[in-house]
Each structure stands twice: as structure tokens, then as C-alpha cells.
Structure 1
Amino acid sequence: MQNRLELTATVEREDSLRYTPAGLPVLEMWLRHQSRQSAANLERDVVCEIQAVLLGEMAKKFAGKLAGNTVQCTGFLSQRSLRNTRLVLHIEYVEFVRG
């Protein structure tokens, strides 16, 4: 079963491209999402900041190009590491949203 999360958000900040000890490119960023959602027949404003990561060739392709832009991304949630259970969005697909 594949559960994917789709999200439109603004890239608030983007770290410099780095490499894992195994040589895998990694690009970490923080996304800010704002929307109006309906729950239990009530409308509410949703605002949140989400840490996200791009890996591999996509990390190299988008490095230095995302900060300040609005993007549509698809990926999955996972804990940051075995010892850090904070959730991180692992982005598998990203495209710029035209304003």
C-alpha cells in the first residue's frame, strides 16, 4: 500500500546541498502551508511549517532554486531518524506553482 501526501506550500528556507557519508545528495528545507479546510462541517484555517527533504538527483537539480517559491510536492512522511521521531516530508516529486 502506498500512501502519498500532496501539499502546496511556500519554501520558507532551504539549506545548502550536502552529501551523506555514502555520497547521496541531500537538500533539506522548511515548507509553510496555508489553506482553508473543512472538518466536521466546520471551516478552519490551517497554517503549519513542515520540514522536508529531497534526496538524490532531485536534490542536485533543485538546490538553490526553491527558497521563496511556492511548490506542489508529493511524498511520504517518516521520522527523521531512528533516534529522532520528528516527522519529515520526503519529497518524491516537486514542481513550481505559477502565481
Structure 2
Amino acid sequence: MQNHLVLTASVEREEVLRYTPAGLPVLEMWLRHHSKQNEAGFERDVTCEIQAVLIGKQAPLHAGKLAGNTVALTGFLSQRSLKNPRLVLHIEHVEFVKG
């Protein structure tokens, strides 16, 4: 069973493309999300900053092109590493949103 998260956010900052020791391209970025959500019958403003990572073939294609843009992302949440429990969005698909 796969559960995917879909999120629209602006890319506040992106790091320089790097490669893992195994040769996989990695693009790390920070996202800012704003929306209105219905919770218990009340509308609430939601704002958050999320660290995200794009690994694999898509990373070099998007490197240097995401910062400052609004994107719709599909992916999953996972802890950063075995020793770091901070959540990171692992991006599987990126779509630019026209503003």
C-alpha cells in the first residue's frame, strides 16, 4: 500500500546539486506552504516550512530551476536518517504551478 502526500508550496531555497557516494543525484530544498484548511468545522490558516529532497533522475533536470517558483509536489514523508528523526518530504513528482 502506498500513501502519497500531495502538497503545493513555494520553493524558498534550493541547495547545489550533489551526488551520494553511490552516484545518485540529490537536490535538497526548503518549501513554504500556505493554505486554508477545514478542521472540526472551522476554517484555519495553515503555514509551514518543510525540508524536501529530490533524489534520482529528476534532480539534475530541476537543479537551479525551482527556487522562487510555486510547485505541486507528490511524495512521502520519512525521517532524515537513522540517527536524525526530523521529517523530510521525499519528492517523487514535481509540477510547476502557474501563478
1:49 corresponds to: 49
Q: Show structure 1 runs of 5+ residues with no match.
A: none
Count, aligned residues: 99
- For 1:1-99, what aligned pairs fall within 5 Å after superposition? 1-99=1-99
Alpha-carbon distance, 1:32 to partner: 0.3
Deviation string, structure 1 residues 6-40 (Cα, Å, up to 9, x no partner): 00000000000000011100000000000000000
Deviation string, structure 1 residues 41-98 (Cα, Å, up to 9, x no partner): 0110000000000011100100000000000000000000000000000000001001
Counterpart amino acid of residue 80 in structure 2: R
CA distance in 2, matches of 1:38, 1:22: 43
What percentage of residue pairs aligned between the two structures are identical?
A: 76
Which of structure 1's runs of 4+ aligned residues deviate more than 3 A? none
Counterpart amino acid of residue 49 in structure 2: E
Scaled by the length of structure 1, the TM-score of the pair is 0.99
SS, match of residue 3 in structure 2: coil
Structure 1 vs Structure 2 CA RMSD: 0.4
